[in-house]
Structure 1
Amino acid sequence: MPGTGPLLPGTPDLVSTPEEKRAAANAIQGHIQSGTKKAGEWAKDETSAAVKALAAKDGDGWTTSRALKKAHTTWGDQVQNLMNRLEAEKFALRGAHTDLRGSDLSTDGQIRQCSPFDAY
């Protein structure tokens, strides 16, 4: 959107401190990932029980049993993708300060090489 950005007055920016990044990474690890894992285990147990209850006793079983099993497999893949994404976000948050600080120092070194003020 034209006319907005972190350098214009009155507009929000995306700046955060290393402490805020660390807190966010810790929240991902301590609450979101562990909660997601617990919920996944609960859903796995409950779905497995439903599949078993609707399974065949003397034939093919209920169509619902097969559908639940297929849906649970798809859901499991989606949960695994979420867990992978959370891990990547946690890693990125923990590395952001180091990466940004390194970029700052590198840029400073390049600018300092050709600064006309060094001659004074």
Structure 2
Amino acid sequence: MRLNGGPGPLATGGNQDFASAPAEKKAAANTIETELQPNTKKASDHADGATNSLRNGFGGWETAAGVKTVADTWEQQVKTLMARLESEKNALRGASGLFVRNDTGVGADLRASTSKLNGL
């Protein structure tokens, strides 16, 4: 096994498999941004409109208060989900660069280090 020239994400030739795929992380983050977030928002807005119509239809009844409680809970859950999607998107984008920077740094440190075994 060779540490100074073996296969890795930045090595030339050899096995280029790497456990972290920056392109896949970017694609997943883009899917969150272009599909999941907008579609979740659209579904939430649709449900809000239907719930408001229902609540207005029960105006003056105790049922309207119950529908409001459900709507408030729904709204909070949607906010939590949207925040989670945003967090996951940012984490995917951040992790992609972090892995490459970390591996580059470790590789540079290994190449720069000297060993008592050098020259044997």
After superposition, where does 1:87-98 map in structure 2 within 5 Å?
87-98=86-97
Match of 1:41 in 2: 45
Give, in whole Å, the separation in 2 of the partners of 1:16 and 1:99.
10
Match of 1:12 in 2: none
Give runs of ≥4 in structure 1 deviating > 4 Å: 117-120
Match of 2:66 in 1: 67
The yes-or-no answer on 1:85 pairing with 2:72 is no
Task: Give unpaired runs (5+ residues) of structure 1.
Answer: 1-14, 57-61
**TM-score, length of structure 2 as denominator length:** 0.74
Give, in whole Å, the separation in 1 of the partners of 2:76 and 2:37.
15
Deviation at residue 113 of structure 1 after TM alignment = 5.0
Match of 1:99 in 2: 98
Give, in whole Å, the separation in 2 of the partners of 1:118 and 1:33.
55
Deviation at residue 108 of structure 1 after TM alignment = 3.1
Give, in whole Å, the separation in 2 of the partners of 1:16 and 1:114.
26
- Higher RCO by CA contacts (8 Å cutoff, separation 6 or greater): 2
Of the structure 1 ranges 100-109 and 28-37, higher mean CA displacement relative to structure 2 is found in 100-109
Count of residue pairs the alignment pairs up: 102
Give, in whole Å, the separation in 2 of the partners of 1:23 and 1:66.
43
SS at match of 2:77: helix
The yes-or-no answer on 1:24 pairing with 2:31 is no
Give, in whole Å, the separation in 2 of the partners of 1:81 and 1:118.
56
Give, in whole Å, the separation in 2 of the partners of 1:108 and 1:68.
59
Task: Rate the CA distance shift 1:96–1:50 in 2: closer, same or farther, 3 A.
Answer: same
**TM-score, length of structure 1 as denominator length:** 0.74
Give, in whole Å, the separation in 1 of the partners of 2:31 and 2:70.
29
Give, in whole Å, the separation in 2 of the partners of 1:96 and 1:47.
39
